[in-house]
A and B are shown apart, each in its own frame.
Chain A
């Protein structure tokens, strides 16, 4: 035991010092490259690969990956080795070490350095070890996770060395996990393996699960039992993460629903008017974003990251303005006739759709994402895309702003008064026509803002709004009118419900189920979750 530990330690020390010991200068690398030009069979190439890897130079990585991808060429005239990029009949060459351009060459003048699958495997393996020494922590991290997925007992010394030299805590943990995976496939003793199981159990994701399951299948006795326990433990925790993931998807969908529905909830709540053109207000917001981005691309490309911020007020004004025009020009003549308002606004929605189709064409428009919306990050085992996160946050901001307007401003007070008892409000001197116009414009403007956000996750086409309208209705009807919190809870419930039904029933059937559930729910509570009560409402 003592001996083994000593040996390991010794190897570790040697390995740890390897990169510096073997630190070859550029000339050494170039010499190795020349050898590559003269190899005649795969064994020779392999030995060059190993020698290259042994240098530990970061530049080697580029050479090896070019080799594995079949992009490494030898110029016949001078036996020079280059990376090449095919460019029609010619290749543009560049230096494999520093990447500087080295002119072009006709295909006939060069030969490819040949690789086969065995060689590719070798390259992959040595590269894992190689990148462990990279200066970039993200490269080291990905090397560690590759090694976790393909554990190799021969990599143990290199791993130990890397762990010893690692300063970044995250990378260090990942290395330890990779090492644990390697230990499980090694001939090390039971204690080591037990510790390794614990390390992997701690990681608790599907990669760790795969390693542990494989180990459990291959081993017997107490060790297998420990592994089984850990597998079970990981499975439970993964199930919990799955639930969390679903909740997140649900919240994210709920936010989309809320954004789309909240304007509708306001107009329906205050005016008792179902605005069938609401979806088109959302669409106008999305198209405003498109136009703003086109303008920015044309005149001020640097501002592109700000395009959404600029589009927000623009969309609010465009959609709000159109809403105001609809209210003044049409809806005010139809008060007290909600069903006819519904039909007339449907007419407006057809006209708006066709207008947009005539102006912008029927195809999808490309709305770009600013850089801060791109990509994703990892939270535990959750993958969260930035665009979704921003939409959730944005939705919350809009919601809270509206709650503030309704609860704390005099307009809000008037709107609530009209919601509760229109006639009474009117006789108290509130100008209900003004409140209606303002409400409708506000609801439409909010829809426009929603369009800006939704343009980031959906195709912008003339039918854009149609995709949201029925869902928005469901949210409003489910949540009940006259209460923003009802809309909020309605949207989130429906979002989460949808996402939980999806895995069992599939997306379409899940949606159908939700619709049926709402239809049944309305039977129980004809006025939604949070209904206003009172004579004025019943009349």
Chain B
């Protein structure tokens, strides 16, 4: 396997918590511009994989490379985010006391040091960008309300909006449609496909309709390693996958 041309390259990654192997010799490669859906039963290690990529958890062994040559295990969360990896959490995490607009403002791509933030004056370009995103995530009417007042689904949207504002090279999206109606799910799929035109994306989701809607290559994780990989039809007809999902 060659690393160049890949946006994300995991090889032989393992991590254990107090002896429990959450990720076990996991290898996964994502090409530039690719969108990948990851499925797997609860506790398969999907979120933990994202923790490893974003620097929250250090792997015990294995290689994690971003953009062909950057060793992610040597960097912390903030550095990794600055390199261009954005993340949406499984449990929507937004700044509840801030308005919707301020949530986006803090996510907006750009300088991340203290003094520029202290003397920041909003520019026309920034305002336009925020307006655009508010339009996309359909929260324009609530821009000045605290995020705490949003519904679960709206928070999901807001978090996706924050991802857009960050404009990363690689997006890690953990269960984006949990708690959404069918119509919203469909909208989200459309939005993600739009994003995937210009970005690399990994989506974790349990909702198979949504995964089918995305229509991309699927990886099924189980007990911390790849169980099966291919089109959704291929994966879902794989006996081992069926066994894992239905229980033995």
Contact = CB atoms under 8 A, between A and B. Distances in A.
- The answer on direct contact between A and B (beta carbons under 8 Å) is yes
A408 interface: no
Nearest to B47: A535
B115 interface: no
A534 B17 CA distance: 7
B233 interface: no
Interface residues of A, number: 2
Contacts of A533: 17-18
A533 B22 CA distance: 14
Interface in A517-539: 533-534
Nearest to A535: B17
A431 to B, nearest CB: 26
Contacts, number: 4
A513 to B, nearest CB: 31
A533 B18 CA distance: 7
A534 B18 CA distance: 8
Contacts of A534: 17-18
Category for how many chain B residues contact A = under 10
A139 B190 CA distance: 101
B19 to A, nearest CB: 10
Q: Majority SS of interface residues in chain A?
A: loop
Interface in B1-51: 17-18
A284 B170 CA distance: 60
B224 to A, nearest CB: 15
Contacts of B17: 533-534
A533 B17 CA distance: 8
A219 to B, nearest CB: 68
Nearest to A538: B56
Contacts of B18: 533-534
A532 to B, nearest CB: 9
B89 to A, nearest CB: 12
A481 to B, nearest CB: 16
Interface string B191-229: 000000000000000000000000000000000000000
A169 to B, nearest CB: 57
Interface in A491-539: 533-534
A275 B17 CA distance: 30
A527 to B, nearest CB: 14
A480 to B, nearest CB: 14
Interface in B44-74: none
A156 B22 CA distance: 82
B227 to A, nearest CB: 23
Nearest to B51: A535
A443 B17 CA distance: 30
A534 B57 CA distance: 11
Nearest to A534: B17
A510 to B, nearest CB: 36
A533 B19 CA distance: 11
Interface in B80-98: none
A411 B77 CA distance: 40
A180 to B, nearest CB: 63
A533 B16 CA distance: 11
B138 to A, nearest CB: 30
Nearest to A533: B18
A130 B83 CA distance: 93
Nearest to B20: A534
A499 B17 CA distance: 38
A534 B16 CA distance: 11
A534 B22 CA distance: 12
B52 to A, nearest CB: 14
B5 to A, nearest CB: 35
A54 to B, nearest CB: 82
A534 to B, nearest CB: 6
B47 to A, nearest CB: 10
A141 to B, nearest CB: 59
Interface of B: 17-18
4 contacts: A533-B17, A533-B18, A534-B17, A534-B18
In order of increasing CB-CB distance, the 4 nearest A-B pairs are A533-B18, A533-B17, A534-B17, A534-B18
